[in-house]
């Protein structure tokens, strides 16, 4: 039997699938109620889910996390790969729940054959998506009250950060850099929603003709857009900094470079949609205050 729980587009979708297993004598296509037992052995193959699980108090139930889950420090990091998952390696931890960052696909099917439940928590596209996933994980792991407190705290803190943004900084334009090849994130993404909460205007929006949310810009486009602030989410992975940006051909004249408003973010915090989103917002808000004083 396989119970696969999916969360998508901010709406709770509980899909229950039963796979025929000879030993169980079940029939393919039959339905069943979700297992009521609280999982005691969880494997997380999603860095964001790992952060969420520990934040809501389910850390003691987590027996293994993937090789990209580097926070919190006490998370039981292993060499499990979310990009190339190995079913046998995952099963060796005897999990009763595996959390993945997508719909699971072949992995979920393979785990179902060995009677392991999967929970899918795909990338959030809004803060509401993130809150929803936290609540879902709270329900599944037996930490509903703790998850509700985390969500309430995030909302309160983010509201305070937004309220503290200087009036003169609202409406400022920005460029969010995902890598040195100028891939960015538009306002329709989770990253963009945080910037929008703080009143900023995204220069990448007009360039997203495909509507995917993550267009690749050109150096010429960015220079022409002349953003007030540049945020680097590739400072750890790719060693980008205010100095490397200023050294790019033609970039010295960009307002953000002239005014010292090139901000190196923590790549991990800026790319995940868990509780540390508040830290991401705080870093952005602080940089806006500093840039305004320097201008």
79: its two tokens: 């060499």
Helices (H), the chain: 47-55, 87-91, 105-113, 127-141, 144-164, 190-197, 219-225, 242-246, 255-258, 267-271, 277-294
Instruction: Identify whether 72 is preceded by a cis peptide bond (ω within 30 of 0).
Output: yes
- In whole angstroms, what is the distance from residue 275 CA to residue 260 CA? 29
Cβ 83 vs Cβ 67: under 8 Å = no
Please enumerate in sequence order all residues whose Cβ is within 8 A of that of 53, keeping only pairs 6 or more positions apart, or say none: 42, 44, 59, 61, 62, 99, 137, 141
What mean pLDDT is predicted for residues 165-179?
95
- In whole angstroms, what is the distance from residue 125 CA to residue 192 CA? 9
- In whole angstroms, what is the distance from residue 74 CA to residue 46 CA? 15
Q: What is the pLDDT of residue 184?
A: 98
Residue 26 predicted with pLDDT over 90? no
Distances, alpha carbon 1 to alpha carbons 15, 36, 121, 163, 271, in Å: 13, 14, 20, 49, 34
- In whole angstroms, what is the distance from residue 150 CA to residue 146 CA? 6
pTM of the entire structure?
0.85
Q: What percent of the chain has pLDDT over 90?
A: 80
**Best-predicted range by mean pLDDT among 22-31, 38-47, 108-117?**
38-47
Cβ 194 vs Cβ 284: under 8 Å = yes
Burial of residue 140 (number of CB atoms within 10 Å: 0-12, 13-18, 19+):
buried
pLDDT in tens, 207-233: 999 999 999 999 999 999 999 999 999
Locus of tokens 């996933």: 133
């Amino acid at each position: 039997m396989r119970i696969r729980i999916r969360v998508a587009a901010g709406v709770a979708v509980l899909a229950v699938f039963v796979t025929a297993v000879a030993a169980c004598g079940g029939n393919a296509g039959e339905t069943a109620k979700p297992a009521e037992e609280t999982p005691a052995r969880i494997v997380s193959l999603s860095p964001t889910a790992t952060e969420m699980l520990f934040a809501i108090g389910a850390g003691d139930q987590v027996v293994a996390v993937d090789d990209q889950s580097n926070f919190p420090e006490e998370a039981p990091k292993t060499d499990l790969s979310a990009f190339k998952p190995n079913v046998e390696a995952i099963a060796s931890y005897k999990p009763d729940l595996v959390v993945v960052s997508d719909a699971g696909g072949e992995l979920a099917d393979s785990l179902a054959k060995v009677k392991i439940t999967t929970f899918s928590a795909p990338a959030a596209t809004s803060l509401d998506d993130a809150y929803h996933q936290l609540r879902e994980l709270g329900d599944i792991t037996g930490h509903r009250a703790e998850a509700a407190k985390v969500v309430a705290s995030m909302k309160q803190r983010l509201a305070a950060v937004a309220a503290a943004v200087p009036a003169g900084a609202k409406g400022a334009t920005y460029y969010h850099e995902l890598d040195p090849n100028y891939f960015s994130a538009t306002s329709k993404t989770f990253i963009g929603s945080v910037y929008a909460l703080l009143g900023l205007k995204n220069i990448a929006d007009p360039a997203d003709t495909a509507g995917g949310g993550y267009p690749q810009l050109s150096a010429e486009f960015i220079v022409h857009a002349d953003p007030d602030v540049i945020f680097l989410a590739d400072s750890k992975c790719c060693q980008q900094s205010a100095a490397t940006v200023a050294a790019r051909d033609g970039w010295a004249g960009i307002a953000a470079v002239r005014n010292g408003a090139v901000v190196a973010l923590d790549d991990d915090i800026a790319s995940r949609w868990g509780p540390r989103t508040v830290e991401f917002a705080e870093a952005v808000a602080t940089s806006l205050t500093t840039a305004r004083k320097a201008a």
